[in-house]
Every structure is written in C-alpha cells, then in structure tokens.
Amino acid sequence: KAGVTQTPRYLIKTRGQQVTLSCSPISGHRSVSWYQQTPGQGLQFLFEYFSETQRNKGNFPGRFSGRQFSNSRSEMNVSTLELGDSALYLCASSVYNLGANTEAFFGQGTRLTVV
C-alpha cells in the first residue's frame, strides 16, 4: 500500500506570494491533517479535514487555509507569505478523524523557504 505522498518536496517562494501544497493520503484514509514544523516552535497542528469538511483547527491566522476533495486528497494554501512561514509542512492521514483513537501516518513533508 502506498504511503502518504506530499508534493512538491521543496519550494522557494518570495514574500507576499501565495503557495499551494498537496497531500495524497493512504488509500482508504478519510482524514488528512496538516502540521507546521519549525526549529523555534516545533510541530504545530494547523487543521484537519475529514470527508471534505474541516473538522478541527489549530491557532494559525486565516492566511492558512485548506480543502479536501472527494478522493480525500487535500491541499493547503498559504497566502501573503511571510519569512516566518518558512518551515517543513507535514500532512498525516488516518482512517478516522482525530479523537477516534486512530493512528496518524505522515508524509515526507514539503520544505517551504520564503525569501
């Protein structure tokens, strides 16, 4: 069974631009959640989508948004990029939504650098 696939692996963007990251979950998994990892703040939860609906949300500004398609693939969008958005963005897929005692399996991440 294929794992979680994130594209692209690396991205360089300029301040003020917007970016879209993609995540394909494990086949049969309906939950996709997104995380930001930085040296200063560690791993932080962004949001979770389950069956095309945002189910849970972290404490990030509205510039961070996402969506999920009917095939469970998810995209995350960051608008008006700031230097502080430089991070490793990870997505995880689960059979069930968070809170349902489900294992979360992560992709390899997208390394975003904002210059």
User: Under DSSP, is residue 34 helix (H, G, I), strand (E, B) or coil?
Assistant: strand
Closest to 81 measured CA to CA, from 64, 58, 60: 64
Structure tokens at 47: 């949001």
Identify whether the C-beta of residue 113 lies closer than 8 Å to the C-beta of residue 14.
Answer: no
Of the pair 4, 16, the CB lying nearest another protein is at 4
Distance CA 30, CA 24 (A): 10
**14 lies in the site for another protein, by CB under 8 A:** no
Identify whether the C-beta of residue 98 lies closer than 8 Å to the C-beta of residue 33.
Answer: yes
Binding mask 59-78 for another protein (x = CB under 8 A): x-------------------
Where does this chain touch another protein (CB under 8 A) — which range of 17-25, 43-51, 64-72, 73-81?
43-51
Which residue in the set 58, 65, 67, 95 belongs to the binding site for another protein (CB under 8 A)?
A: 58
**26 lies in the site for another protein, by CB under 8 A:** no
Shortest Cβ 16–another protein spacing (Å) = 26
Which residue in the set 42, 62, 83, 115 belongs to the binding site for another protein (CB under 8 A)?
A: 42
Distance CA 77, CA 75 (A): 7
**89 lies in the site for another protein, by CB under 8 A:** no
Identify whether the C-beta of residue 80 lies closer than 8 Å to the C-beta of residue 109.
Answer: no
Which residue in the set 7, 16, 27, 43 belongs to the binding site for another protein (CB under 8 A)?
A: 43
